């Protein structure tokens, strides 16, 4: 009986640990060494003349961009606070509030619109070669895309059939 109880406790602990690891997946900070930083010092993201760069005030961005989005929110499973998603047709803004709930900041910007480009002129439909001409050698490259790192920001270009299909700006939190 005692062995069965110990086995149950161990199983519960393993299950709890795996659930926590799954919840934090993709939200944990990544380490950036000097050798994998992109040649660009920082990344900026604008849409409709509004600065939506991760780390900026989300409320101000939403007020400037207006209605026309789908909204979702929930508790952040990796940090204390809340997550919100503002899903427009061409862009999705992911935002977070710290545990005090004071400011809602943009954490991720997913660029889906075909006509949208980075301030440096790279956008959906461009080739990986054009991205490398503009940004230099990526920190990570594979057949699915290219990743650039700069300070507390990452810029990802997702590639399918040799063309960019979407871009994501991400704030690296927790360092």
Q: Residue 2 domain-assigned?
A: no
pLDDT at 175: 55
| Residue 40: CATH number of its domain | 3.40.33.10
Q: Residue 9 domain-assigned?
A: no
CB atoms within 10 A of CB 100: 8
Average of pLDDT values for 42-50? 87
Q: Residue 6 domain-assigned?
A: no
pLDDT at 48: 87
Given a cut of 90, whether residue 27 has pLDDT beyond it is no
CB atoms within 10 A of CB 131: 24
The residues with which 96 forms a beta bridge, in sequence order, are 83, 105
Q: Residue 3 domain-assigned?
A: no
Q: Give the residue numbers spanning the domain of 91.
A: 34-171
Looking at the chain, the whole-number percentage of residues with pLDDT higher than 70 is: 75
Higher pLDDT, 111 or 35: 111
Q: Residue 5 domain-assigned?
A: no
Q: Residue 150 domain-assigned?
A: yes
Number of folded domains that form the chain? 1
CB atoms within 10 A of CB 163: 14
* Tens digits of residue pLDDT in 90-114: 999 999 987 777 789 999 999 988 7
pLDDT at 6: 36
Given a cut of 60, whether residue 41 has pLDDT beyond it is no
Burial class (CB in 10 A: 0-12, 13-18, 19+), 69: middle
Given a cut of 60, whether residue 19 has pLDDT beyond it is no
pTM of the model: 0.72
Q: Residue 144 domain-assigned?
A: yes
Average of pLDDT values for 31-38? 33
CA distance 145 to 157: 5
CA dist 36 to 26, 84, 151, Å? 19, 30, 11
Q: Residue 119 domain-assigned?
A: yes
**Least reliable range by pLDDT among 11-20, 78-87, 136-145:** 11-20
């Amino acid at each position: 009986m005692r062995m069965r109880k110990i086995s149950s406790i161990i199983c519960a602990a393993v299950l709890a640990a795996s659930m926590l690891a799954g919840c934090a997946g993709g939200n944990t900070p990544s380490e950036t060494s000097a050798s994998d930083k992109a040649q660009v010092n920082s990344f900026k993201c604008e849409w409709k003349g509004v600065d939506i760069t991760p780390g900026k005030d989300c409320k101000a961005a939403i007020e400037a961009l207006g209605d026309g989005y789908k909204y979702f929110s929930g508790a952040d499973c990796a940090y204390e606070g809340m997550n919100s998603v503002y899903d427009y047709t061409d862009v999705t803004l992911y935002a977070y509030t710290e545990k005090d709930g004071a400011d809602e900041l943009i954490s991720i910007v997913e660029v889906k619109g075909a006509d949208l480009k980075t301030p440096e002129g790279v956008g959906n439909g461009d080739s990986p070669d054009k991205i490398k001409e503009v940004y230099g050698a990526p920190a990570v490259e594979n057949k699915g895309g290219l990743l650039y790192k700069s300070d507390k920001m990452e810029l990802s270009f997702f590639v399918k059939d040799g063309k960019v299909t979407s871009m994501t700006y991400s704030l690296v939190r927790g360092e």
